Amino acid sequence: MIKQINKISRRRFLKAAGLAAGGLHFSLAPSGVLGAPGRVGASNRLVIAHIGVGGMGMTHLANMIRFQKEDKVRVAAVCDVDDNRLEAAVENSGPNVMPYRDYRYILERKDIDAVVIATPDHWHAVQTVHSCQTGKHVYVEKPASVTVREGQAMVAAARENKVAVQVGAQARTAKGAWHTCRAIRNGIVGKVKRVSCWHYANPLDSKPVPDSPPPEGLDWDLWLGPLPWRPYNIRYQPAHFRWLLESGGGQIRDRGAHQFSTILWCMNADHQTSFSVEAKGRPPARGLWDCPVDMEVVYQFKNPDWTLEWGQPGNKVGQTEFGNVFWGDNGHLVLEWEGGYRPANPEAVNFKLPLGGEEVYRTDEYEDFNMNHKADWFKSIREGHLRPAVDIEIGHRTASLCNLGNLAYILGRKLVWDGEKQEVVGDSQANRLLSKPQRYPYVL
């Protein structure tokens, strides 16, 4: 459990973090500095660094501290652009952990085997690619990317540098999703031709505030990173980045990255990379946030044919804030949330695999599915196959659903996505929007 901190001297803390005045001399270490794929050092413990230690980042750190107590990893470094969060991470990690404000210092360390990235979404791709290029394995929070081209670069970097990149869509290693997946794949409701999601709306910035100086201890330029420069506003940070299309993409790119990942797994559809997408939504009437308050997105897949629907709010079939329904020709099955924090429905839990039925991948080393997901990542590294449960290619395809849903909303028209060519068919304007400029030096 993460404990409350006692404040330490900021001058002493910053000195310890190596943040004294002066420019950062940075060059990427050559790829492969760790030697053969899967190598984890003489002690057989992965040496881990955490980049981003606020919110979910602190959960990841707490998990790693537990792994450290089990002698499976050693936490060597923590990094955040907010000194207050960095101080908390240091206090909870122990005296031998080195703090950094700039993640690039971590990448210069050849003793670090792997990094856990839990920064805001607009940083995921750049930090993942740079980490791969220095031979480090990566656990990166979802969504994998905020543009399709970023996702492609992440996949290429993982493959070229022979590292394992696990995306934090943890439901694929959770019991709820596993029970549901094996039931759906083995015909509990017959052939499924439609999956619908319900989710509560994006928030509205109903009380806009003017720009202001950033709070003490926050490196605003480094927080922005690849984004265009803009003045600080509390409606951007912390956490509110989620409600801007350029940096967070709203509920569909946040929670949709979880739900779509589970749905693709249940439908055995990771290979179905081509589809059409149509979207409509109600834009906010005022304020800084520009994600649509309500939103409906429909994806059509072929061979086999099925439909995926994102409803915001949609048709709430279950009891909790969000979830999805598999509609088959012999009934329907509800999955609350995405199969992580909630159990599967009783009929899925009690489902008996038929003779000759299909079993699906499961890891249940830990009761906590966040721990399980990381254990699956460790396994892929140690065994050298470098394909964890939510490999970066799976994460990229899932994020592409989210990103193209938002793009269809922005453009106001149907898009036909060619997954092989990674382009929108016959739409040059849409294809130009598959990437966006990044601010130097925070570039792919």
CATH number of 133's domain: 3.40.50.720
pLDDT band at residue 63, thresholds of 50, 70 and 90? very high
Token pair 């966006």: residue: 436
Cβ atoms < 10 Å from Cβ of 25:
7
Domain around 320: 172-207+221-360+392-432
Asked whether the beta carbons of 78 and 90 are under 8 A apart, the reply is yes
Position 39 scores a pLDDT of 53
Position 265 scores a pLDDT of 98
Over residues 370-408, the pLDDT tens digits come to 999 999 999 999 999 999 999 999 999 999 999 999 999
Do 37 and 51 fall within a single domain?
yes
CA distance 379 to 301: 33
Position 1 scores a pLDDT of 35
Mean of all residue pLDDT scores within the chain: 91
Do 226 and 313 fall within a single domain?
yes
Position 239 scores a pLDDT of 87
Do 232 and 137 fall within a single domain?
no
Q: 3-state class of 276 per DSSP? A: strand
Do 158 and 183 fall within a single domain?
no
314-346 in b/e burial notation, b at 16+ Cβ within 10 A? beeebeeebbbbbbbeeebbbbbbbbbebbbbe
Asked whether the beta carbons of 371 and 194 are under 8 A apart, the reply is no
Structure tokens at 268: 């055995």
φ, ψ at 174 (rounded to 5°): -110, 155
For the question of whether the overall pTM of this predicted structure is more than 0.85, the answer is: yes
* Structural domains of the chain, count: 2
Does residue 409 register a pLDDT over 50?
Answer: yes
In a domain, 160, yes or no: yes
Position 11 scores a pLDDT of 45
Structure tokens at 327: 């509609």
Do 151 and 263 fall within a single domain?
no
Where does residue 359 rank: exposed (0-12), middle (13-18), buried (19+ CB within 10 A)? exposed
Where does residue 149 rank: exposed (0-12), middle (13-18), buried (19+ CB within 10 A)? middle
Over residues 161-218, the pLDDT tens digits come to 999 999 999 999 999 999 999 999 999 999 999 999 999 999 999 999 999 999 999 9
CA distance 3 to 166: 27
CA distance 419 to 297: 18
Do 22 and 92 fall within a single domain?
yes
Residues 6 or more apart whose CB falls under 8 angstroms from that of 345 comprise: 180, 333, 334, 335, 336
CA distances to 51, 202, 310, 414, 444 from 120, rounded to whole Å, are: 10, 17, 23, 29, 16
